[in-house]
Amino acid sequence: MANLLEWLAESKPDIVCLQELKAAQGNFPADALLNVGYQAVWRGQKTWNGVAILSRVGEPIVTRYVLPGDPKDTQSRYIEAAVAGLIIGCIYLPNGNPQPGPKFDYKLAWFKRLARHSRKLWDSGHPVILVGDYNVVPTDLDIYPTKSWTNDALLQPESRAAYRKLLLQGWADAIRALFPNERIYTFWDYKRKRWERNAGLRLDHFLLSENLADKLLTGGVDREVRGLPRASDHAPVWIKIKVTS
């Protein structure tokens, strides 16, 4: 929480998406965030998961608390809201390990549900951003040179194919559009001094609808946050878009 508040104060983002809250619904720090100017909507879950959207440019109006397609799925991995003229989908896609197995099957099924819903969002014509931890390394450019992750669910051909299917709908991968040939990382595992060695992965993505892709101005990764005490293994990823004429 201290790292989050410090980052909000320094970076002053207009809209923020958080994943893996690891807080029950009633334990989300909404008051503390409101004290620093951010209204929030969230879907918590005890121990694991959890997603939230914060805004200092108007109240987020929830349009969905769940990803459609499986009424039996109780994991808190998706929330969607209208904010400042945008539709924001906040995503915490399943990790899928160990694979093969039920967790990997769940990951791929969740990806299929996301693709069905993202197609409807695309067809709506609304300005949409699908942002979050997709738990997929799209290409070999998105991971440090290594074979140690070869069997991980994040890099499996099925995971990468599912992500490509989203892009084939027309969505623009904002960070890759800005840095087409660079190794950009958003995650550094705690083990084996991967942060110290800059042995990173790009797991966190912004997908932009067609009517926002040409409004993308800049973006990046606030890498230094990963080096703070008690830091997340993910660093904040950000983009700036022009949404007013």
Question: Active-site positions?
Answer: 92, 133
Q: What angle do CA 82, 83, 87 make, to 5 degrees?
A: 45
Give me the half-sphere count of Cα atoms (radius 13 Å) on the Cβ side of residue 171.
Answer: 27
Q: What angle do CA 18, 191, 24 make, to 5 degrees?
A: 30
**Contact partners, residue 240, CB within 8 Å, separation at least 6:** 216, 217, 218, 219
Cβ pair 221, 236 in contact under 8 A = yes
Q: Report residue 20 CA to chain centroid gap.
A: 10
**Contact partners, residue 223, CB within 8 Å, separation at least 6:** 185, 235
Structure tokens at 34: 């409101």
Alpha helices in the chain (DSSP H): 2-11, 30-35, 102-124, 157-168, 174-178, 210-213
Cα Rg of the chain (Å, integer): 17
